[in-house]
């Protein structure tokens, strides 16, 4: 598919960072875990930038004038709290003029072990005719990402949306791609894992990205 890019399918330093965020030997260092997710976000940003519009501009140097392609559009970077924050920061390191959006989504569990995804909070600028980049570190069932996307659409209709996730389940990716408009969405994935447990955890996955980055929540 032209709108699906799996970065982990190619040998690069990207896979080194994916390996470290998966490793139980590395995960006891939350600062390194966050930094690796941040670097993964930086690589995603670099790859996404290749698909965006540039225009030649003249730049005055101390010795003359250089003609350099410059990015025309200023994207809106959106993420789902809290696990998506390190990757969001990585993309913001590169798209440093971007506007930002934040969505709070959580699993509401019931006594029978089932759960539903609920959106708790949204902060976003006007999205009409913008390029939207929506990222989350993990995509398990895909429900939270789809709900986040639908909530963001209340702020306007983007010209194009890039969906970004470091590790996804096959089931979750299929669900998201079936629910989002494929003609105006591009999907950027680090790695696809085939198994999703009954509790909706990705296997082998990496565990709870939010807890590993910011500490265990109650």
Say if CB 130 and CB 156 are below 8 A apart: yes
- Return the structure tokens found at 95: 């798209």
Residues in CB range of 58: below 8 A, 6 or more apart: 65, 66, 67, 68
CA distance 189 to 194: 14
DSSP state letter for 56: E
Q: What is the mean pLDDT of residues 14-24?
A: 98
1 pLDDT band, cuts 50/70/90, is low
Give the Cβ contact number of residue 120 at 10 Å.
10
**Cα–Cα dist 37/208, whole Å:** 13
Find the DSSP H helices in 95-179: 143-152, 170-179
pLDDT digits (tens, 9 = 90+) for 69-126: 999 989 999 999 989 999 999 999 999 999 999 999 777 777 777 777 788 889 999 9
Is the separation of the CB atoms in 40 and 32 below 8 Å?
A: no
DSSP secondary structure code for residue 101 in this structure? E
Using DSSP's 3-state secondary structure scheme, residue 18 falls into helix
Rounded to an integer, what distance in angstroms lies between the CA atom of residue 63 and that of residue 60? 8
Q: Are 217 and 211 in contact (CB under 8 A)?
A: yes
The pLDDT value given to residue 15:
98
Name the pLDDT band for 2 (thresholds 50, 70, 90): confident
pLDDT, tens digit, for every residue of 152-198? 999 999 999 999 999 999 999 999 999 999 999 999 999 999 999 98
Find tokens 């296997």 and name the residue: 203
Predicted local distance difference test score (pLDDT) of residue 208: 93
Higher per-residue pLDDT: 110 or 146: 146
pLDDT value of residue 152: 97
User: What pLDDT, on the 0 to 100 scale, is given for residue 198?
Assistant: 85
Q: Which domains does the chain have, with CATH numbers?
A: 4-214 (3.40.50.2020)
Taking residues 32-44, what's their average pLDDT?
98
Location of structure tokens 């913001």: 92
pLDDT of the residue at 108: 73
pLDDT tens, 42-70? Answer: 999 999 999 999 999 999 999 999 999 99
- Confidence bin at 6 (pLDDT 50/70/90): very high
């Amino acid at each position: 598919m032209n709108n699906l890019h799996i970065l982990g399918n190619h040998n690069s330093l990207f896979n080194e960072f994916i390996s470290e965020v998966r490793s139980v030997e590395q995960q006891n260092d939350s600062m390194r875990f966050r930094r690796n997710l941040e670097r993964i976000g930086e690589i995603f940003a670099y790859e996404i930038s290749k698909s965006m519009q540039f225009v030649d501009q003249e730049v005055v140097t101390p010795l003359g004038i250089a003609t350099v392609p410059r990015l025309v559009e200023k994207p809106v970077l959106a993420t789902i709290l809290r696990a998506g924050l390190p990757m969001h920061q990585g993309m913001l390191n590169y798209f440093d003029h971007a506007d930002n959006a934040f969505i709070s989504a959580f699993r509401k569990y019931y006594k029978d072990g089932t759960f539903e995804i609920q959106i708790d909070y949204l902060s976003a600028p006007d999205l009409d005719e913008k390029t939207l980049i929506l990222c989350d570190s993990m995509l398990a069932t895909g429900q939270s990402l789809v709900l986040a996307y639908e909530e963001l659409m209340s702020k306007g209709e983007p010209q194009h949306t890039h969906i970004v996730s470091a590790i996804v389940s096959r089931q979750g990716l299929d669900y998201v791609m079936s629910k989002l408009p494929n003609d105006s969405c591009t999907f950027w994935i680090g790695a696809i894992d085939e198994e999703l447990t009954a509790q909706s955890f990705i296997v082998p996955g990496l565990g709870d990205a939010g807890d590993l980055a910011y500490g265990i929540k109650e």
